Structure 1
Amino acid sequence: MDLNEKAVHEMQEGNIEEAAKLLNEAIEKNPEDAVAFTNFGNLLAGVGEEDRAVTFYAKAIEIDETVGAAHYGLANLYYNQEDYKNAIASYQKALGEGLNESDVYYMLGMCHFQSGDVLRALPHLKTAAEDAPEDIDAQFHYGLALAQAEEIDEAKKQFEKVTAMEPEHADALFNLGVAYAYKDDAEGALARFNEALAVQEDHALAANGKKQMEKILEEGTGE
């Protein structure tokens, strides 16, 4: 196990100071070790020192621009700062350098989603959802993107998948209720809104949806 591997192990164990010592040693032994600079960037980002992390990622890329993990780490910092344009560029560079992982596609999709560009978000979120079927966040946000694109039947399937995986996912239950309402199934929608409120009683959107469905059902019965 080399110094970088030891450092990553220490980070995973929560031993940040020991990981930093190992990475410092790796960089002292080889100032051109792009992986060590990337790992140090990850360490700094993990403890909230984002400005310093940028410096280490930038150095890693300067040494070797093919290190996809450095582009990915830098992209995450841009995303946290809501700088989606630069985040998208860095995620795309990470993909271009072979970091074809579901997390990269998910974050790239989220950049477009947060920017309001649902059509560009959809293919990336779809890839993330397909590549990581156990990732609830990927499944849920793919459902949201489908719903915003008015692909209601497919969105409904996604929210059903999420609630099957996590029955107390209040937001998925709410959005499933919206899908039922969109299909003019007031009873189904009301049931989902009630389930969302049972999980999270202060879910304002579900409470509002419940009132609307109850009103529709009352009018339908002539009460």
Structure 2
Amino acid sequence: MEGASGTAGVPTGSMPSAEAIRRAILRLEGAVADSPTSIDARFHLGVLLQADGRRDEAVAQYRQALVLNPFDAHLHNALGIAHHDAGDMAQAMSCFEDALASDPDDPQAHNNMGHLLQVENRLDDALAFFDWALALRPDYPEALNNSGVVRQMQGRLDQAVALYRRAVALRPDYAAAHKNLGMTLLAAGQYEEGWREFEWRWQDAQLAGARRPFTCPQWRGEEAPGRIVLIHGEQGYGDSLQFCRYIPLVAERGLRVVVEVPQPLVRLMRRLPGVEQVVAHGQALPPFDLHCPMMSLPLAFGTTLATIPGPLPYLAADPAEVEIWRRRLVLAAPGDNRPLVGLVWAGAARAGTPDVAVADRRRSMGLAALMPLLDDDRVRFISLQKDAAETEVPPGLGGLIDSAVDFADTAALVSNLDLVISVDTAVAHLAAAMGVSVWLLNRFDSCWRWLRGRDDSPWYPTTLRQFRQARLGDWGDVVKSVRAALAATFTSGNRP
């Protein structure tokens, strides 16, 4: 699952290959050895060390250079970016403040400060810094992109699109702006252009390292009877669960389909019609003629809002496993015949990617926010929150989910439920794809896939209902609405 990409960085243009970076590092290390007081050499060495993943060494070069000139705004910016990339936002903020103190008219420092404020959800303050950066430098693609991200978060999609278009007009190879443009167009329902722009995700720094080095062509939807196509999962589990619906359609075009997904999805994906083989990510792949990332399948099929593949369900649990989990649910609460409602309150933290981790904190709510729901005794609540802390989960919610080893197990458990109430995470996709009713607790700046201004989803038209934040970060009204909906739905123990 992706969020819009903001930019706090030293503008370097197109980054050279890893081998070229290492050769340049060796040359600059020699230059620093020959001239230890060269601020420029240390600065450029730090930039390349950071690009090579040697962040601590980069920080050391920036600090040495700042000893030589404590008032160099570019050095303070570079040091702040290194701290940002390490997830230390407080240190990054301090560095950007030092950059502004050193040069109040430095557009990069204004841009970087705005980015940090956006990460902290201080959106109006962030916009003020981006506006200032653009007043100082109107042709600043990063500031245009970042300003677009904030407006996208605020739901001002037309303004965001205009800013992204300005950014890519100035820099046609600006991958983050292209990707953000794609996601904003998708959020607005403009799928034809949106899917094309979304392909730029593989050039963006967030995903560039995950791009597969396959030499065979990417499948674009053409007829290719008898040829083997590798459909490979990407990004989060929920993305694969949403877009695996296309796999039977690929097989219907005469292709032989091999699917590669993370191990927890393997058993579930084997149940999809048309799949010849499922391989766990990291295992040896069989020979194949074509490949296609899972989230490029909508582009291959020319998907519009009117042609999203159906019908539901398209995923199913093994009936024998469904019965095993039914018995476990009965044994956990003998004689309790109330409707069963599963709860998920947090997504994966993804702490290794600071900006993505921030987006996860916005989509997650914590169990404490859901506690008012637990007062409703018309239903029996079941925790579907994997690996939740024991101290966090009340005994009444049970811990059955922690014995689920993969999504096939989770699917069998979910098959026994009457309703799943979940934040935007993989379990919501799983349940909706299986035909189980889902109430999605959605953040204000929701993911593009949920569109805007609607409480249903064309991806799950009969199974999913959205409860959206009216204000960024406000889960209170969402929970009140869900509580009222529970009371209206489960009257006297009836099932929906």
- Both structures adopt the same fold (TM-score exceeding 0.5): yes
Given the alignment of the two structures, is residue 204 of structure 1 paired with residue 243 of structure 2, yes or no? no
Change (3 A) 1:117 1:23: same
Asked whether the equivalents of residues 57 and 74 of structure 1 are also in contact (C-alpha less than 8 Å), the reply is: yes
Residue deviations 1:52-93, cap 9 Å, x none?
Answer: 111111111111122222122212211211211122122222
Change (3 A) 1:138 1:60: closer
Q: Which amino acid aligns with 2:150?
A: C
| Larger strand share, 1 or 2 | 2
3-state secondary structure, aligned to 1:190? coil
Partner Cα distance (2:52, 2:121) in 1: 30
Q: Which amino acid aligns with 2:42?
A: L
CA-based RMSD: 3.7
Cα displacement (A) at 1:131: 4.7
Residue deviations 1:115-163, cap 9 Å, x none?
Answer: 12223223112223545555665445434544666xx6xx233134147
Partner Cα distance (2:427, 2:173) in 1: 28
Partner Cα distance (1:49, 1:87) in 2: 18
Change (3 A) 1:14 1:116: same
Partner Cα distance (2:89, 2:135) in 1: 24
Partner Cα distance (1:135, 1:169) in 2: 23
Query: Which of 178, 189, 193 lines up with 2:308 in the alignment?
Result: 189
Aligned residue-pair number? 196
3-state secondary structure, aligned to 1:100? coil
* Structure 1 unaligned blocks of 5 or more: 182-187, 214-223
Given the alignment of the two structures, is residue 168 of structure 1 paired with residue 293 of structure 2, yes or no? yes
Asked whether the equivalents of residues 140 and 158 of structure 1 are also in contact (C-alpha less than 8 Å), the reply is: no
Partner Cα distance (1:39, 1:210) in 2: 42
Q: TM-score, normalised by structure 1?
A: 0.69
Asked whether the equivalents of residues 41 and 53 of structure 1 are also in contact (C-alpha less than 8 Å), the reply is: yes
Query: Which of 185, 191, 206 lines up with 1:156 in the alignment?
Result: 191
Change (3 A) 1:27 1:128: same
Query: Which of 99, 110, 115 lines up with 2:149 in the alignment?
Result: 110
Equivalent runs, 1:33-52 vs 2, <5 Å: 33-52=72-91
1:71 maps to what in 2? 110
Partner Cα distance (1:162, 1:202) in 2: 28
Cα displacement (A) at 1:41: 0.9
Change (3 A) 1:145 1:7: closer
Change (3 A) 1:67 1:93: same
1:121 maps to what in 2? 160
Q: Which amino acid aligns with 2:308?
A: A
Larger radius of gyration: 2
Partner Cα distance (2:64, 2:58) in 1: 10
Partner Cα distance (1:73, 1:111) in 2: 13
* Structure 2 unaligned blocks of 5 or more: 1-39, 203-291, 316-425, 434-456, 463-496
Q: Which moved more, 1:27-36 or 1:13-22?
A: 13-22
Asked whether the equivalents of residues 73 and 98 of structure 2 are also in contact (C-alpha less than 8 Å), the reply is: yes
Equivalent runs, 1:55-66 vs 2, <5 Å: 55-66=94-105
Q: Which moved more, 1:37-46 or 1:5-14?
A: 5-14
Partner Cα distance (2:75, 2:67) in 1: 10
Q: Which moved more, 1:11-20 or 1:137-146?
A: 137-146
Q: Which moved more, 1:102-111 or 1:121-130?
A: 121-130
Partner Cα distance (1:147, 1:173) in 2: 11
Q: Which moved more, 1:202-211 or 1:11-20?
A: 202-211
Q: Which amino acid aligns with 1:5?
A: H
Partner Cα distance (1:82, 1:172) in 2: 33
3-state secondary structure, aligned to 1:74? helix
Asked whether the equivalents of residues 136 and 162 of structure 1 are also in contact (C-alpha less than 8 Å), the reply is: no
Asked whether the equivalents of residues 181 and 194 of structure 2 are also in contact (C-alpha less than 8 Å), the reply is: no
Partner Cα distance (1:163, 1:23) in 2: 35
Q: TM-score, normalised by structure 2?
A: 0.34
